């Protein structure tokens, strides 16, 4: 839905007024409102899945919520969501969330926290997560951390 909204708004013959250059007048603010509504709905859906009691759904939802919150600029909320996914022990979501948490902690200058998070992903044995976490550790090392 988020990806389709800009396309629908820019369709020729759409319901939105266009200026003489063919640009949609006011489309930017509408697009932001649509994105906010979709984002709120997604957050609500993620929270429902987290609270569902289904461990697999909850861990995957916590990972997705963390990613959504990163995009929205809620770093603390994202770190909390990633920690929930990590604490779940999920073989798939936990290592990927550890990478997300490691990246956020590195950005904040918490080098040891970032190293610990990346190491959790490596120790998980998840091939994709281990590869990405190794790259994260290498970046920290290259930066002299």
Residue 29 has pLDDT above 70, yes or no: no
Least trusted range by pLDDT, from 36-40, 94-98, 134-138: 36-40
Q: Give 7's pLDDT tier (boundaries 50, 70, 90).
A: very low
Identify the residue whose tokens are 């003489």: 20
| Architecture of the domain spanning 23-142 | Alpha Horseshoe (1.25)
Residue 24 has pLDDT above 90, yes or no: no
Contacts of 82 (CB under 8 A, 6+ apart): 62, 63, 66, 97, 98, 100, 101, 104
Residue 140 has pLDDT above 90, yes or no: yes
Where in the chain are the domains? 23-142
Tokens of 95: 């290592």
Q: Give 88's pLDDT tier (boundaries 50, 70, 90).
A: very high
């Amino acid at each position: 839905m988020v990806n389709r909204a800009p396309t629908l708004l820019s369709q020729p013959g759409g319901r939105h007024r266009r200026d003489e250059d063919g640009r949609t007048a006011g489309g930017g603010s509408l697009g932001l409102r649509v994105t906010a509504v979709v984002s709120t709905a997604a957050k609500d859906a993620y929270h429902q899945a987290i609270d569902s009691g289904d461990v697999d759904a909850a861990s995957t939802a916590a990972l997705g919520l963390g990613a959504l919150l990163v995009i929205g600029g809620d770093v603390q909320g994202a770190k909390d969501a990633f920690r929930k996914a990590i604490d779940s022990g999920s073989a798939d979501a936990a290592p990927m969330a550890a990478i997300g948490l490691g990246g956020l902690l590195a950005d904040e200058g918490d080098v040891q926290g970032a190293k610990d998070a990346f190491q959790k992903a490596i120790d998980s044995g998840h091939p994709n997560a281990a590869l990405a976490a190794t790259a994260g550790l290498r970046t920290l090392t290259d930066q002299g951390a």
